[in-house]
């Protein structure tokens, strides 16, 4: 039961904690929030001993994006997706590429008002087969995600999480109940990077990936934003690919995308194309079947090839799809199954 007070909706996933504090149990940060204070993500706040979310019903604006922009290359390729986020974020990435949204407090932005029904109606109006919870991390507005995705499912519209995967083990069961697909940022493959550059922890994200693979039907792909001299060494890429192969298998698409200097990391150059290509070659040589480069123009690095007969199946450039020869989830040439939702 949700209690509406002014612009806030009572949150799920919390419990009373010492004196007048609240323990938020939505993500592994487990903020202990004093009276009148927000948690780290800003949009979850303690008022009179209850936790409220100011994100519920307050998107920061809508866009119609290609699904390839999420990026998802094996989920309804060539279709558009209604996309939105809210203010705030539960990570503190120094290199955030969306910081004007994720670091904003709700009162600093012109957020709009939209009920879950409004959001689904908007998707119907623009005829998008899916809705993406994106731009900031949708984990923090999980209550809103659940209510929208439930109605969307009833209307045969799919739901997509674009997330860092930093979410509590119990809360994720509810947040992902009606979710069809996800792109999970695996931001690096060292705890040192996670701790210093994102203020979160690698193992929690790996745990979410294993859970998605073993306990859900959610189609998911992985993105690693490569930052020069931070997380792009061949050794780290090998370790990441080795972990993926051992824990998730060889058919989860992996995207290596280019960083540009932003927010608190402006002392770095943009990622050169050769670093993306080198990383893709490493992944492919180790046995990852579908590996892509992103945020650059590279038709070769963005094409889906049949892992069996090597035929080019989906040709792309940046977010544009030029041809799609997958027939009912199979290669048109040899009939091999191509993993994904087509
Ligand atoms: S969801 Fe927000 S308030 Fe809750 S623990 Fe995570 S960062 Fe803190």
Mutate to test the pocket of ligand 1, among 15, 26, 136, 172 (most ligand atoms within 8 A of CB): 26
41 CB contacts (<8 Å, ≥6 apart)?
Answer: 27, 29, 31, 88, 89, 90, 137, 140
pLDDT (tens digit per residue) in 23-37? 999 999 999 999 999
Helix (H, G, I), strand (E, B) or coil at 235: helix
Relative to the CA of 51, which ligand 1 atom is closest?
3
pLDDT at 2 over 50: no
**Which range is least confidently modeled, 12-16, 56-60, 205-209, 238-242?**
56-60
Separation CA 131–CA 117 (nearest Å): 12
Q: Residue 104 — pLDDT band, cuts 50, 70, 90?
A: low
- Cβ < 6 A, ligand 1 pocket: 24, 26-27, 29-31, 39-41, 44, 90, 140
pLDDT at 261 over 90: no
pLDDT at 125 over 90: yes
Relative to the CA of 29, which ligand 1 atom is closest?
5
Q: 45 C-alpha to center of ligand 1: Å?
A: 9
> Could you tell me which residue, 105 or 127, shows the higher pLDDT?
127
Q: Is the pTM of this model over 0.75?
A: yes
Angle of CA points 337, 176, 327, to nearest 5°: 20
Neighbouring-strand partners of residue 330: 327, 337
Separation CA 100–CA 263 (nearest Å): 9
Q: 216 C-alpha to center of ligand 1: Å?
A: 23
Helix (H, G, I), strand (E, B) or coil at 133: strand
Q: Whose CA is nearest to atom 6 of ligand 1?
A: 27
pLDDT computed for residue 109 by the predictor = 53
Across the chain, mean pLDDT equals 93
pLDDT computed for residue 265 by the predictor = 66
Q: Whose CA is nearest to atom 3 of ligand 1?
A: 39
Find the helix or strand (DSSP H, E) in which 81 lies: strand 80-84
Separation CA 285–CA 127 (nearest Å): 40
Distances, alpha carbon 251 to alpha carbons 195, 246, 318, 338, in Å? 29, 12, 21, 9
Q: Residue 116 — pLDDT band, cuts 50, 70, 90?
A: very high
Largest CA distance in the chain: 67
Separation CA 49–CA 44 (nearest Å): 12
75 CB contacts (<8 Å, ≥6 apart)?
Answer: 67, 130, 160, 180, 181, 219, 221, 340, 341
Neighbouring-strand partners of residue 341: 75
Q: How far is CA 328 from the centre of its chain?
A: 26
Find the helix or strand (DSSP H, E) in which 183 lies: strand 181-185
Distances, alpha carbon 31 to alpha carbons 37, 44, 142, 222, 330, in Å? 11, 10, 16, 27, 46
Separation CA 36–CA 47 (nearest Å): 5
Structure tokens at 9: 């909706």
pLDDT computed for residue 100 by the predictor = 67
pLDDT computed for residue 3 by the predictor = 44
Relative to the CA of 43, which ligand 1 atom is closest?
2
Find the helix or strand (DSSP H, E) in which 254 lies: strand 254-258
Residues 342 and 76: beta-carbon distance below 8 Å: yes
């Amino acid at each position: 039961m949700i209690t509406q007070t002014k612009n806030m909706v009572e949150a799920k996933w919390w419990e009373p904690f010492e004196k007048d504090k609240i323990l938020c149990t939505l993500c592994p940060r487990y903020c202990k929030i004093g009276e009148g204070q927000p948690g780290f993500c800003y949009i979850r706040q303690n008022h009179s001993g209850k936790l409220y979310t100011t994100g519920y019903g307050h998107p920061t604006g809508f866009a119609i994006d290609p699904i390839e922009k999420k990026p998802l290359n094996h989920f309804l390729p060539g279709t558009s997706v209604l996309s939105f986020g809210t203010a705030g974020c539960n990570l503190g990435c120094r290199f955030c590429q969306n910081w004007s949204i994720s670091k904003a407090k709700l009162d600093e932005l012109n957020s709009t008002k939209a009920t879950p029904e409004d959001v689904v109606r908007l998707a119907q109006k623009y005829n998008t087969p899916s809705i993406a919870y994106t731009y900031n991390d949708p984990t923090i507005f999980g209550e809103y995600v659940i209510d929208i995705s439930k109605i969307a499912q009833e209307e045969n519209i799919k739901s997509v999480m674009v997330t860092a995967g930093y979410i509590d083990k119990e809360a994720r069961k509810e947040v992902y109940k009606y979710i069809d697909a996800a792109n999970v940022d695996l931001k690096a493959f060292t705890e040192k990077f996670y701790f210093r550059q994102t203020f979160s922890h690698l193992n929690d994200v790996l745990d979410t990936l294993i859970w998605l693979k073993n306990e859900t039907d959610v189609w998911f792909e992985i993105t690693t934003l490569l930052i020069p001299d931070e997380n792009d060494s061949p050794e780290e890429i090998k370790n990441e690919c080795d972990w993926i192969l051992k824990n998730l298998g060889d058919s989860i698409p992996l995207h290596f995308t280019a960083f540009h200097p932003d927010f608190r990391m402006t002392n770095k150059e943009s990622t050169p194309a050769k670093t993306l290509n080198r990383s893709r070659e490493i992944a492919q040589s180790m046995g990852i079947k579908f590996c892509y480069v992103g945020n650059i123009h590279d038709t070769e690095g963005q094409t889906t090839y049949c892992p069996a007969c090597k035929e080019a199946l989906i040709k792309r450039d940046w977010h544009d799809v030029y041809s799609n020869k997958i027939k009912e989830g199979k290669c048109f040439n040899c009939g091999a199954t191509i993993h994904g939702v087509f």
